[in-house]
A = this chain, B = another copy of it.
Amino acid sequence: MYSIKKLLQDGKNIQGEITLKGWVRTFRSNRFIALNDGSTIDNLQVVVDFENTDPELLKRITTGAAIEVKGRLVESQGKGQNVELQASNISILGDSNPEEYPIQPKKHSLEFLRENAHLRVRSSTFSAVMRVRSTLAFAIHKYFQDNGFFYVNTPIITGSDAEGAGEMFRVTTLDAKNPPLNENGEVDYKKDFFGRETNLTVSGQLEGETFAMALGKIYTFGPTFRAENSNTSRHLAEFWMIEPEMAFYDLIDNMNLAEDFIKYVLQYTLEVRRDDLEFLNKRFLEEEKTKPQNERSTMSLIEKLEFVIHNQFKRVSYTEAIDILKNSNHNKKKKFQYPVNEWGVDLQSEHERYLVEKHFECPVILYDYPANIKAFYMRLNEDGKTVRAMDILFPGIGEIVGGSQREERYDVLKQKIADLHMDEATLWWYLDLRKFGTAVHSGFGLGFERLVLFATGMTNIRDVIPYPRTPQSAEF
């Protein structure tokens, strides 16, 4: 069976009667069916010979109905398509009662569609977003595999809160109401499924490092979790992360890789999913029109993608960034909620946005952060107060990548773990990497949904993942 994508591309070369299955998007004038099968954003126009078609059947050609059409492709008289299908026979595979079907051919609010997440992918916007998501995912695998990286599935259930990156979800099979207690009156996790307390992973990095120190260059691409009660348009409790990790890479190599990688996957997706992105581009421009003039983007969605692909990311040290922020008019006029007064403060999202959107007006790589606002595993610089960390900040998105050169020195890392009162016993294997054949190495994490947000021009992260998990919400 042909896909509509194929028919619209090569229709002129396809002779004879064909059979097609898909869903009705619209049916107008008892004559023209816009048929979609999910293979492309575009519909195929099916022309119905309504005078010779049973009126009862015509009534059942409604938005959402699944139909089978037999007919011949002919050159289209209408605009916007090369071919259309002259139907000789139509049969209804599955009805769709117009009184009940939620996804009618009109503009629905994104909130309404979220409540119907099982059907929203039948809309043009969400089908485009989800196809773009799929292509981005493949571009990621392709980039790494073409460049000698190996894909590693780090564990989802983990016994170690390695990063201390945030609150975690407990994974358990213990009786919820009456858990077994040990002699100290505490929950006896020895009786739990894994014989210990276990959680959902917040990052595959530490396990990823163990593989990089054997296979050289690896990447993960899997789900990660944060049990944080943040109901924002940028946070999910369950999201997908890509975490490459490379032996013998220093921070500069790491930045170069991250920049090249992001440009590649956007370029690839722009080529392969051009039709969906043009649709999302139109949508983006319409959304912009509803904003006050001074809040509108100076670029269209596709222009933003092209801009990232063709411009160098600006590399700025934390120290330079603090100077810029401290001396900015914005700061002097006290327009930041968190004023920037001294070196050492953590950057807030408002500061990142100022740097990216107002000051540099391009993606920015910030590096060499103060040690005490960054994670324990980051390589301490010779100055003793900064670490070889880097964050990549994107316009409209904020942090899209966070990475670092890893501390490769056994004694320094061991001391850091002690200073932070972390549990060295659960990190014995991580320390082993520094004991046996250690070397400079680096890696980063990229939040997949933030990349999809950027590529699609959507503004709420719940709209770029099939079934979002957020506080108080795990429907479907």
A residues contacting B by CB (< 8 A) are: 1, 3, 5, 21-24, 37-39, 64-66, 93-97, 100-101, 117-119, 121-122, 127, 130-131, 133-135, 137-138, 141-142, 145, 148, 150-160, 167, 169-174, 176-177, 179, 181, 186-187, 193-196, 198, 200, 207, 210-211, 213-217, 222-223, 225, 227, 229, 237-238, 240, 247-248, 408, 429-430, 432-440, 465-467, 469, 471-476
Q: Is there contact, CB below 8 Å, between B437 and A3?
A: no
CA distance A156 to B240 in the complex (A): 11
Q: Is there contact, CB below 8 Å, between B176 and A439?
A: no
Q: Say how far A324's CB is from chain B's closest CB, in angstroms.
A: 35
CA distance A229 to B210 in the complex (A): 28
Residues of chain B within 8 A of A227, CB atoms compared: 173, 193
CA distance A141 to B440 in the complex (A): 32
Given that A3-B216, A196-B474 are contacting pairs, would A171 and B170 also be in contact in the complex, using a CB cutoff of 8 Å? Answer: yes
CA distance A225 to B217 in the complex (A): 28
Q: Is there contact, CB below 8 Å, between B119 and A159?
A: no
Which 8 A-B pairs have CB atoms at the shortest separation, nearest pair first?
A94-B438, A38-B216, A38-B215, A194-B474, A134-B150, A118-B429, A195-B472, A66-B437
Given that A118-B432, A211-B121, A429-B118 are contacting pairs, would A152 and B475 also be in contact in the complex, using a CB cutoff of 8 Å? Answer: no
Q: Say how far A24's CB is from chain B's closest CB, in angstroms.
A: 8
Residues of chain B within 8 A of A138, CB atoms compared: 141-142, 145, 151
Total copies of this chain within the assembly: 2
Residue pairs across A and B with Cβ atoms less than 8 A apart, 16 shown, are A38-B217, A64-B437, A93-B440, A100-B436, A118-B433, A134-B151, A137-B141, A153-B223, A153-B466, A155-B474, A157-B225, A159-B474, A173-B227, A177-B179, A193-B227, A194-B469
CA distance A434 to B407 in the complex (A): 55
CA distance A152 to B240 in the complex (A): 12
CA distance A24 to B214 in the complex (A): 11
Q: Is there contact, CB below 8 Å, between A154 and B467?
A: yes
Q: Is there contact, CB below 8 Å, between B214 and A122?
A: yes
Residue of B nearest to A248 (CB): B21
Q: Is there contact, CB below 8 Å, between A118 and B156?
A: no
Q: Is there contact, CB below 8 Å, between A171 and B156?
A: no
Q: Is there contact, CB below 8 Å, between B187 and A119?
A: no
Residues of chain B within 8 A of A248, CB atoms compared: 1, 21
Q: Is there contact, CB below 8 Å, between B176 and A174?
A: yes
Residues of chain B within 8 A of A436, CB atoms compared: 64, 94, 96-97, 100-101, 119
CA distance A159 to B237 in the complex (A): 14
Q: Is there contact, CB below 8 Å, between B171 and A432?
A: no
Given that A65-B437, A176-B179, A238-B157 are contacting pairs, would A121 and B214 also be in contact in the complex, using a CB cutoff of 8 Å? Answer: yes
Given that A148-B5, A469-B194, A474-B159 are contacting pairs, would A170 and B173 also be in contact in the complex, using a CB cutoff of 8 Å? Answer: yes
Q: Is there contact, CB below 8 Å, between A150 and B176?
A: no
Residue of B nearest to A206 (CB): B476
CA distance A438 to B155 in the complex (A): 37
Residues of chain B within 8 A of A207, CB atoms compared: 118, 466-467, 476
Q: Say how far A5's CB is from chain B's closest CB, in angstroms.
A: 7
CA distance A22 to B216 in the complex (A): 8
Residues of chain B within 8 A of A150, CB atoms compared: 38, 130-131, 134
CA distance A179 to B178 in the complex (A): 9
Q: Is there contact, CB below 8 Å, between B247 and A21?
A: yes
Q: Is there contact, CB below 8 Å, between A177 and B171?
A: no
CA distance A171 to B172 in the complex (A): 7
Q: Is there contact, CB below 8 Å, between A432 and B153?
A: no
Q: Is there contact, CB below 8 Å, between B247 and A38?
A: yes
CA distance A217 to B130 in the complex (A): 12
CA distance A214 to B117 in the complex (A): 12
Q: Say how far A400's CB is from chain B's closest CB, in angstroms.
A: 18
CA distance A179 to B177 in the complex (A): 7
CA distance A469 to B438 in the complex (A): 27
> Considering residues A1, A96, A134, which has the most beta carbons from chain B within 10 angstroms of its beta carbon?
A134
Residues of chain B within 8 A of A466, CB atoms compared: 152-155, 207, 211
Q: Is there contact, CB below 8 Å, between B240 and A153?
A: yes
Residues of chain B within 8 A of A467, CB atoms compared: 154-155, 207
CA distance A138 to B443 in the complex (A): 21
Q: Is there contact, CB below 8 Å, between B223 and A435?
A: no
